[in-house]
Amino acid sequence: MEMKFSGEFTVDIPKEKVFALLSDPEKFAPLLPAFHSMEMKDAKTAVISARVGIGKISGTASTELVLEKSEAPHHARYTGKGKVMQGAYRMTASFDLEDAGNGALIKWQGETQLVGKILSLAGGGMKGYAEKEINKLISSLQTALSPDSATAPAAAKPEGWFGRILRGLGGESEAPTIGETESPPPSPEEVQRARDESRKRISSVLDTSRRDAKPARKEDDRLIKGKGLFVDDFSPAGLLHMSLVRSPYAHARIVDIDVSRAEALPGVVCTLTGKEVMEMSEPFIQIGAGSPQNITDYALATDKAIYQGDPIVAVVAESIAIAQDAAQLVEVEYEPLEVLTDVEEALKDKVIIHDETGTNATFHGIYEYGDVDKAFEEAAHTVKIDKLFFHRFGSTAIEPNACVATWDQRGEIDLFSNTIMTIPLVFIAPALRINMDSIRLRTYDIGGSFGNKITNYPYLTLACLASKKANGAPVKWIETRAEHMLAGGHGSERAYLDTEVALDGDGVITAIRSRHIDDIGAYPRYEPLGCAIWSQVLPGAYKLRNIKIDFNQAVTNKGPAAPNRGYSRLPHIWFMERVIDICGHELGIPPDEMRLKNYIEAFPYETPNGCVYDSGDFPAMLAKAKELIGWDEWKKKQQEAREEGRLIGIGIGTTLDSGTNNWGQARYVNPDAPFSGNSTAATVKLDLDGMVVVSLGTFPQGQGHETTAAQTVAEVLGVSPDLIRVKTGFDSLNDSHTAQSGTYASQFAVTGLSAAHGAAVKLKAEMTKLACFALDAGEEDLEFGVGDMGPQVSVKGADRAVNYWMLANLINSNSAALPEELRDLSLNARHVYMPPFQIPDVEKKIGNLTLTYALQLHISVVEVDPDTFQTKVLDYAIVDDCGKVINPMIVEGQVHGATAHAIGAALVETLPYDADGNAISGSFTDYAPLTISSMPDLKCFNRESPSPFTFNGAKGMGEGGGGPLHSLCAALQDALHGKDIIIETSHNSAMSMFDQFSNGKAKGVNVASR
Amino acid sequence: MSNTMPVEITVNGEARQREVEPRMLLVEFIREELRLTGTHIGCDTSFCGACTVLMDGAAVKSCTLFAVQADGAEIITVEALERDGQLHPIQQAFSDDHGLQCGYCTPGMMLSSLALLAENPTPSAKDIRKALAGNVCRCTGYQNIIKAVQTAAGQLRGA
């Protein structure tokens, strides 16, 4: 926790006298709150003992206070550090003095970093405590500085010095002022005057001159005007609202449910319990073979709650307020059961979460390539790593999961939601016992997803059932943020156990063997696909050929996992990057050299499991990133800092963002899965009025699909993208989808644009045929472009043209003259793009699993406080290569966003559980997603290695591969150099590092060499 | 909870009178009573700032106020930024500098930015970070938001 305070006050004595007091530690220290005793170490250093306490918690703090800077008579700066109550803190305080009449103006700033158990003991009380203590210090100062220090404090009141608090890690900025204390309350007239001035200032900013300009992206126009249509903005007539009763227990039998009081509340329409859901629907399809097939997953819990937040009862009412009131009146009797929060414990099957399966394991498979045993026999060095751990976090899109479902009297469902794939249809339709075509699935604007929303289908199903029970009224369900944090889809955890790495005498890795376990929380849902998907990046960026990973997955009593930006591959790359850095650390090889020895050199490169890395150049990316960050200068600064006892670290992360799945890999988790390849559809039509209209089968959530699809289609037709209309969002009525359509797995630039391109080419061919007829010309004489009549087809070198409306008219309203051979045209072209994939060898787990690999190289520089472990990112460089760039602005935006997510995960964001299965980060305030205060500036560079496998040379990108998780963990390890510390977990907040390292930690790594 | 109270709140220059439940949040008043859906809800602990509007010239989180607390106040929402079909410089800058992706946080971001620019026409990157620390964006990584606010500041100064 880091807190910043600042303020100013005046006193009636000259600044020279003030300075004399403030710059003398012996006089200044006794003014500190709770001062108990002091010993001067030297003229500038006081060792102070103080009694501190918050509520019932108290202890003695020992602080070493150093006068670090003293510039008479205007500036003094102290630093202090010490330990208190199983924690540590570091503070700085500085004073700047100015003349103010006959007295002095004292401007002061203080900063405190605090870490350790004291925080969890004191909880939210810490901030208030710190403020109170600072109050006391300022009061003491004023008393000491008053002309007659025996009398009351000087008349001047401290002003504006209360409460500027910094959250997060960056330390560069502060949150808004939260309030003033001791100033007298302003009079109503003063308030009114301030208000009027404030309104006036805003008016003048609003009344500014404007210019005629259009937005940069097609999407922006509505979004910057507040005219987007997110799910919660959609309110059809007769709308009802659904609120859920969720389990407070992580594992409990449901003994009894009483909804009578809830149903009696005026305005309540109906309730739904698990028992009714069982009658009205089927359990959801399970993807995995074996035990997962026995899991019964309904839209509501039936006999047991198996995680905190498991939905038990749905309440439907005329307003959300009534629904929430009624939910409070539902009485559920639970019988708590033993809770599993540790995945290794879960695998022992002593407690079973899904009774019907008899096991908690949802997958086990061995991925073995090359000759691993031989490589270990021949190894010059073997590095053993006991355990690495990738933590649970989520992308927490700013718009929560949501839907409006209407199951009307015809038996047709209109499902307006923010899901991001057509796959949910495949889950929802059978569960509701209806045809897929009976569901109109549609989206419009979606407020981010990052994969998480793939698993909102149980709630979509529930809203449909609620609508049915409410006689076909539309039912809206908007997840609250608290619900999202418990149940909205977490990224899964992964443990890497008993890892062994074989290296040759030169530091080249020849083999890895390891055992991995994914903890996916309560329900598999989209899992166990993650048990195959990681292997898209099996060797990471490295050329080793011998790999054996024993891969396991199990359920626990935690929130169900969902795909999360970098899904399954990111945790594996993190593992590979840790392996590289740990081996380099143990063998004394610098991290850049270690990478250069091990990087894959030539592309296309076929990995040991048959994946084909399409293009790129890792060494060139590393060289460029080193240049961007100023590697040599930072190395020099690092050395100087180390001599001063400061901890600066520099870390590299090399990562891959694999895009466009071969769904054949689903057969690794279920050999009978009827999936392979990939397919995405789009339609491009020439509409009745001659407008070119594009319908995509994708579910954009901010990636700018309308903009880039318009660019692609416009290029085919030789017109401006402004003349192309791209429909917003997904609508199954557009018929532009396949079962694999969606916005997932970094693929739009390949799948979505290939489909749109293919459809545009087909439409152009039809338009060409029609134009030949209309203009009585040959194909080779035609030219597409824009003329006086708008977009048109003309005859080269002649004054003959037909515009798009005329062409559309020939099919849609003026067809009698058309010759027979043109009567099979529709001007509504649909194209399904299918990348050239083969079905993988399921036995050997060999096959090309993704079409493209975007590459990223990140370098970060951090400084770690040696006592509090607070980390500041000092510098950050990124080199990105996603092949041919379609829209540089959009690509750069994705790079920034992916970087922010992984910085947040590495240093701030985590979803921990206690042993009883209570979610500790149950709100945004606890989770504290990365804010602008904590986000470092990024230095970005783009390389272009066109993919040989796509029509446009582009590669899918956007997930980003989690570069900062890799580079920051590497930088932290580098910063802690000399302490013999190995970074073994992906989450390294100050708190986490303090817990791990403050009392020394046995290093779980050893090396055997021969 | 059928008790209601009368309120008169001026929203985007128009005085709006309603009878509301005392527990109705200002954001609910704006979204549900007035159907101005550009103001969004992203959390329930006043953390995310998606609901930020201007109240009497100050940026406030409209999920943290009851509608009755805004009785007599002047509220500005995102819908007031565009005039006569022309974008406000802050809107143009967010678009030009790609300071938005999904657009859910954008109205709140722009209004917090305007509150800053009304007080400080030449904000440094640090000032911008300070002013927007209560607005969460999950898409952009904030880089282009800082850029957009600086661009808008330049345009407003030149206006």
- Under 8 Å CB-to-CB from B31, ≥6 apart: which residues? A232, A233, B37, B39, B41
Mode of pairing for the β-strands spanning A402-407 and A413-417: antiparallel
Mean pLDDT of A916-924: 95
Residue A891 has pLDDT above 70, yes or no: yes
Alpha carbons A229 and A252: distance in angstroms, whole number: 39
Mean pLDDT of B23-51: 97
Residue A55 has pLDDT above 90, yes or no: no
Per-residue pLDDT of A982-1006, as tens digits, reads 999 999 999 999 988 887 777 899 9
Mean pLDDT of A898-917: 97
pLDDT band at residue A718 using 50, 70 and 90 as cut-offs: very high
Test B81 with A206 for CB contact under 8 angstroms.
Answer: yes
Nearest-Cα distance to chain A for B4, in Å, is 14
Cβ contacts below 8 Å, chain A against chain B, sum to 250
| Predicted local confidence at residue A147, as pLDDT | 65
| Predicted local confidence at residue A177, as pLDDT | 36
Chain A CA closest to residue B104 = A447
Alpha carbons A663 and A842: distance in angstroms, whole number: 12
Report chain B residues whose CB lies below 8 A from the CB of A897.
101, 138-141
> For chain B, what is the mean pLDDT?
96
pLDDT band at residue A174 using 50, 70 and 90 as cut-offs: very low
At A9, which helix (H) or strand (E)? strand A2-11
Per-residue pLDDT of A600-623, as tens digits, reads 999 999 999 999 999 999 999 999
Test A892 with B105 for CB contact under 8 angstroms.
Answer: no
> Is the Cβ–Cβ distance between A763 and A693 less than 8 Å?
no
Q: How many CB atoms lie within 10 A of CB A356?
A: 11
Residue A54 has pLDDT above 50, yes or no: yes
Nearest-Cα distance to chain B for A960, in Å, is 12
Mean pLDDT of A845-870: 97
Tell which CATH architecture fits domain A361-393+490-664+840-1000: 2-Layer Sandwich (3.30)
- Among A398, A404, A445, pick the best mutation site for testing chain B contact (most B Cβ within 10 A): A398
- Under 8 Å CB-to-CB from A377, ≥6 apart: which residues? none
Test A173 with B126 for CB contact under 8 angstroms.
Answer: yes
Test B104 with A398 for CB contact under 8 angstroms.
Answer: yes
**CATH 3.90.1170.50 segments of chain A:** 231-337+395-487
Written as six digits, the tokens of A6 are 């600042």
Residue B2 has pLDDT above 70, yes or no: no
| Predicted local confidence at residue A178, as pLDDT | 38
> Is the Cβ–Cβ distance between B86 and A211 less than 8 Å?
yes
Instruction: Kindly state whether A157 is in contact with chain B, defined as any CB-CB distance less than 8 angstroms.
Output: no
Alpha helices in A318-371 (DSSP H): 320-329, 343-346
Test A892 with B98 for CB contact under 8 angstroms.
Answer: yes
Per-residue pLDDT of A417-449, as tens digits, reads 999 999 878 999 999 999 999 999 999 999 999
- Under 8 Å CB-to-CB from A498, ≥6 apart: which residues? A384, A386, A387, A514, A515
Q: Which among A430, A559, A537 is positioned nearest to A485, based on CA atoms?
A: A559
Backbone dihedral angles phi then psi of residue A178, each to the nearest 5 degrees: -100, -5
Nearest-Cα distance to chain B for A600, in Å, is 30
At A425, which helix (H) or strand (E)? helix A423-431
Chain B CA closest to residue A940 = B143
CATH topology of domain A679-833: Aldehyde Oxidoreductase; domain 4 (3.30.365)
Q: State the Cα torsion A180-A183-A189-A191 to the nearest 10°.
A: -10
Report chain B residues whose CB lies below 8 A from the CB of A704.
101
Phi-psi region of A561 (alpha: psi -120 to 50; beta: other; left: phi over 0): beta
How does DSSP classify residue A359?
Answer: -
SS3 of A567-586: the string is CCHHHHHHHHHHHHHHHHHH
Burial A130-156, CB ≥16 within 10 A → b, else e: bbebbbebbebbbebbbeeeeeebbeb
Alpha carbons A294 and A286: distance in angstroms, whole number: 8
Report chain A residues whose CB lies below 8 A from the CB of B130.
173-176, 933
How does DSSP classify residue A725?
Answer: E
Instruction: Kindly state whether B122 is in contact with chain A, defined as any CB-CB distance less than 8 angstroms.
Output: no
Alpha carbons A422 and A298: distance in angstroms, whole number: 19
Sheet holding A828-833, edge to edge: A724-726, A692-696, A680-686, A828-833
Nearest-Cα distance to chain A for B90, in Å, is 9
Q: How many CB atoms lie within 10 A of CB A918?
A: 16
Mean pLDDT of A763-780: 97
Please give the single-letter amino acid code of residue A797: G
Structural domains of chain B, with CATH? 5-80 (3.10.20.30), 89-158 (1.10.150.120)
Instruction: Kindly state whether B25 is in contact with chain A, defined as any CB-CB distance less than 8 angstroms.
Output: no
Q: How many CB atoms lie within 10 A of CB A1010?
A: 7
Nearest-Cα distance to chain B for A445, in Å, is 7
CATH topology of domain A2-145: Alpha-D-Glucose-1,6-Bisphosphate; Chain A, domain 4 (3.30.530)
Option in A204, A226, A397 nearest B79 (CB): A226
Tell me which of A219 and A27 has the higher pLDDT.
A219
SS3 of B67-101: the string is HHHHCCCEEECHHHCCECCECCHHHHHHHHCCCCC
The DSSP bridge partners found for residue B12 are none
Q: Which among A32, A19, A132 is positioned nearest to A77, based on CA atoms?
A: A19
Sign of the CA dihedral with A168 first, then A172, A178, and A184 last: positive
Sign of the CA dihedral with A460 first, then A462, A465, and A471 last: negative
> Is the Cβ–Cβ distance between A862 and A872 less than 8 Å?
yes
Model ipTM over 0.85: yes
Residue B47 has pLDDT above 70, yes or no: yes
Option in A325, A399, A478 nearest B104 (CB): A399
Scan residues 582-611 of A and list those with Cβ closer than 8 Å to B. Answer: none
Test A899 with B117 for CB contact under 8 angstroms.
Answer: no
Residue A104 has pLDDT above 90, yes or no: no
Q: How many CB atoms lie within 10 A of CB A538?
A: 23
Scan residues 482-521 of A and list those with Cβ closer than 8 Å to B. Answer: 482
Sign of the CA dihedral with A10 first, then A11, A14, and A17 last: negative
pLDDT band at residue A1010 using 50, 70 and 90 as cut-offs: confident
Alpha carbons A134 and A430: distance in angstroms, whole number: 63
Per-residue pLDDT of A130-173, as tens digits, reads 677 777 777 777 777 776 654 433 333 333 322 222 223 333 33
Q: CATH homologous superfamily of domain A231-337+395-487?
A: Aldehyde oxidase/xanthine dehydrogenase, a/b hammerhead (3.90.1170.50)
What are the angstrom distances between the C-alpha of A793 and each of A774, A780, A806, A807?
Answer: 10, 12, 10, 9
Read off the pTM: 0.90
Test A199 with B74 for CB contact under 8 angstroms.
Answer: yes
Per-residue pLDDT of A685-717, as tens digits, reads 999 999 999 999 999 999 999 999 999 999 999
Sign of the CA dihedral with A142 first, then A143, A145, and A151 last: positive
Written as six digits, the tokens of A779 are 């194909």
Identify the burial level of A312 via C-beta atoms within 10 angstroms of its C-beta, where 0-12 means exposed, 13-18 middle and 19 or more buried.
Answer: buried
Find the range with the poorest average confidence among A8-17, A939-948, B136-145: A8-17
Nearest-Cα distance to chain A for B157, in Å, is 9
Test A175 with B143 for CB contact under 8 angstroms.
Answer: no
Mean pLDDT of A92-98: 87
Is the omega angle on the peptide bond into residue A283 within 30 degrees of 0, that is, cis? no
Option in B41, B56, B137 nearest A232 (CB): B41
The residue to which tokens 């898209």 are assigned: A536
Residue A1 has pLDDT above 80, yes or no: no
Chain A CA closest to residue B99 = A893
Residue A250 has pLDDT above 80, yes or no: yes
pLDDT band at residue A121 using 50, 70 and 90 as cut-offs: low
Instruction: Kindly state whether B157 is in contact with chain A, defined as any CB-CB distance less than 8 angstroms.
Output: no
Residue A18 has pLDDT above 90, yes or no: no
| Predicted local confidence at residue A25, as pLDDT | 84
Instruction: Kindly state whether A944 is in contact with chain B, defined as any CB-CB distance less than 8 angstroms.
Output: no
The DSSP bridge partners found for residue A513 are A500, A548
3-class state of residue A88 by DSSP: strand
Tell me which of A488 and A184 has the higher pLDDT.
A488
**CATH 3.30.365.10 segments of chain A:** 361-393+490-664+840-1000, 679-833
Chain A CA closest to residue B34 = A233
